[in-house]
A and B are shown apart, each in its own frame.
Chain A
């Protein structure tokens, strides 16, 4: 019994030790350093990560078992955060009761003590909110071309990750992208992006709203955040001789930042092509001496450029078609039938967020409260004493 009591005493002393807190803070700092300097699974494409690991076999051999390729989700990091939470809680409670409980919140050092307790309470709230977010969140991506719909269910997402405690209760409603509007400055720089969305259920329109950059659209606990946009040309490909229709669909071209300009391009991963076919789009263009040049980002007179490359990446044939035109290249006929925009939206359900926001503001307020007397003394009393001198 005495041994148990001694052990519990030791545990309490350990958990309430400020040295342990400092050690844990240092450990979190070191692990975070590793997380930013080493390639992380969450930030790198799998093939890039594999390549890095192949190039650094010795380092990988040591780092992999330590979980340093996914530091922020690794057991040591989560354990350090959890321990810091427990340490903060025990430290705060012990200090609070040791120094007289409620009575410490009165008297000469009332501000400092209240601030001190509130800072640490806000930290505990932050840990709790963070864990709740991680455990119960849904984080998905969808990509829609104007006119397309998405059904809110697991398989509807392009990419989805869910917390350990997130239960599969998808809403099942339908999200339709009505249109995407982009405001440009000087016909070149996008300054506002808006996706106009509709929510449908059993053929009834339930809501209609917009998701803008910095102004997400929230519906039934899900937040739709505006991510990227680009162009989806409708491409019709036929076999030239037989006239057989091979492709008739919208192709969402990737959007790249190319210096000051945007670039809309992708390749067609279609099995029947002997060469690599790269499709690019100029939203508006001008033509002189057989050359075409992009003139802006607004789709005023779009032009589709098609290039066929051989195995070494050399362009073997090149052609372009304005909207509604057709071109013949090798044994195929390409038709540029329509042009729409696509948008990608991040869909998030995060029940921990309100707790986190309250904790953050409480923390700031508590920090101010904790240090007001020190600063007040600095500004008022010391100045007075200087004048007096």
Chain B
């Protein structure tokens, strides 16, 4: 890991942690300006985050997607980017950042604790499907994190209906809808990730599905969100029930990305 990359990485972490602290301060002390400042600091964090990823890309001469550290670096970049773009478009409340930022720096920190040495990209990764597969995987993750953010706020509001922090927290119905919409986005990206993965697996291993633990967990999380969509449509599970489903869903996604490799050997590269 180059010196410049280490510095940029820590500046990124520092900015994200700073953004979270300011956000939290604004949230509890009812200072709306603090939330705005936190979002600006997140943009600055994203800038340094991008620089870290670019330096890594140049040093390794390949996109940073080959090991846990690189995957986490790229994944969190997508999460923050999706959050900031939707916030800028006025489709998300700043307060959801209170969930998005800690998830981001925790995932980044987890990646940093693994091997960070630059390793050339092995033959298995020399495929155009890699880019498609990874981008959609992380877009899905980003959407699920944002959806969870909305779900957490919904549960907070539902728990204390009279609670009125200064930050503009939308009505529970709007939070429920936001959470649902990000699940739709995440689910669609998840589907493209699975399809591209299956096609890549066919070229690489000769079979599109091998019940590998990581593959299976990815399918489990996909089926879980299919369950969520059906339960919402046909059983009328909305608001609190749906919010809990989303939070549990993110845990399942987290296990798929980081947990499975710890317990079961997988042929899947990068975990």
Contacts and interface: CB of A to CB of B under 8 A. Distances in A.
B91 A139 contact: no
Nearest to B192: A364
B199 interface: yes
Interface in B86-128: 89-91, 119-124, 126-127
Interface string B187-224: 11001101100111011111111010100110110011
B158 interface: no
A346 interface: yes
Q: Which of A21, A35, A43, A192 has the most CB of B within 10 A?
A: A43
Contacts of A346: 205-206
Contact of B207 (A185, A350, A360, A367): A350
B181 A374 contact: yes
B81 interface: no
B40 interface: no
Interface in A1-53: 18-19, 21-22, 25-26, 28-29, 32-33, 35-37, 40, 42-43
Nearest to A84: B223
Contacts of B191: 363-364, 367
Contacts of A378: 91, 181
Interface centre among A29, A33, A379, A386 (most CB of B within 10 A): A29
Contact of A367 (B188, B235, B265): B188
A58 to B, nearest CB: 21
Contacts of B121: 191
B111 to A, nearest CB: 19
A383 B121 CA distance: 44
A197 interface: no
A191 B120 contact: yes
Interface stretch (A208-216, A270-278, A286-294, A311-319): A208-216
Interface in B178-192: 181, 184-185, 187-188, 191-192
B260 interface: yes
A346 B188 CA distance: 32
Interface in A180-206: 185-186, 189-193
A310 to B, nearest CB: 32
B206 A26 contact: no
A191 B204 CA distance: 14
B67 to A, nearest CB: 12
B195 A25 contact: no
Contacts of A72: 211
Given A21-B230, A25-B226, A214 B264 contact: no
A361 B89 CA distance: 30
A40 B213 CA distance: 10
Given A32-B216, A139-B207, A360-B198, A189 B122 contact: yes
A311 to B, nearest CB: 30
Contacts of A19: 235
Given A36-B260, A223-B206, A25 B227 contact: yes
B163 interface: no
Given A36-B213, A363-B195, A368-B188, A216 B206 contact: yes
Nearest to A212: B123
A109 to B, nearest CB: 13
A368 B231 CA distance: 19
B207 A189 contact: no
A214 B269 CA distance: 14
B195 A360 contact: yes
A347 B231 CA distance: 42
B234 A18 contact: yes
Interface string A329-354: 00000000000000000111010010
B124 A213 contact: yes
Contacts of A28: 223
A357 interface: yes
Contact of A375 (B184, B199, B220, B224): B184
B120 A189 contact: yes
Nearest to A192: B123
Given A36-B213, A368-B188, A356 B91 contact: no
B123 A22 contact: no
Nearest to B127: A214
B204 A32 contact: no
Contacts of A383: 89-91
Nearest to A42: B211
A225 interface: yes
Contacts of B127: 214
B207 A348 contact: yes
Contacts of B126: 191-192, 213-214
Given A192-B123, A212-B123, A214-B126, 8 more contacts: A18-B235, A32-B219, A186-B120, A189-B119, A193-B123, A364-B192, A367-B188, A367-B191
Instruction: Report, nearest first, the 4 A-B pairs whose CB atoms are least far apart.
Output: A225-B206, A213-B123, A346-B206, A18-B234
Interface of B: 89-91, 119-124, 126-127, 181, 184-185, 187-188, 191-192, 194-195, 198-200, 202-209, 211, 213, 216-217, 219-220, 223-224, 226-227, 230-231, 234-235, 260, 263-265
17 contacts: A18-B230, A29-B223, A29-B224, A33-B220, A36-B217, A43-B265, A72-B211, A139-B206, A186-B120, A191-B126, A213-B124, A223-B206, A353-B202, A353-B208, A360-B194, A367-B191, A379-B89
Interface of A: 18-19, 21-22, 25-26, 28-29, 32-33, 35-37, 40, 42-43, 72, 130, 139, 185-186, 189-193, 212-216, 223, 225, 260, 346-348, 350, 353, 356-357, 360-361, 363-364, 367-368, 371, 374-375, 378-379, 383, 386
